[in-house]
A and B are shown apart, each in its own frame.
Chain A
Amino acid sequence: MLSTDEIRRIDHEIALVPVRKAASIEALKIVQHHRGWISDESLQAIAAHLGMSAEELDSVATFYNLIFRKPVGRNIILLCDSISCYVMGYEQIYTHLQALLHIKFGETTPDDRFTLLPNPCLGSCDHAPVLMINQDTYRDLTTEKLQEILKEYK
Chain B
Amino acid sequence: MQTTPITRINVSDKKFCISYPLEDGILLASIKRIGIIQPLILLAPPPYTIVTGFKRIEAALHLGLTDIPCIMVNITEKDALLRSIHDNMGRALNIIEKANCIEKMLHMAFSTEEVYDVMTLLSLSRHEKIAGRLRDIAGSDETMKCFILKKDLSMQNIETLLRFTSEEKEHIIEILTPLHTTESTIREILQMLHLIKVRKGAIDFSTIIGADDIYGLKARLKTLTYPILSSLEKGLKDIKIKCALPPNIDIKVDPFFEKEYIDILIRAKNPDEIRVALLKLNGVFDAGYIRSIFGLAKD
A and B physically associate: no
- Point out residues on B near A: beta carbons under 8 Å: none
- Point out residues on A near B: beta carbons under 8 Å: none
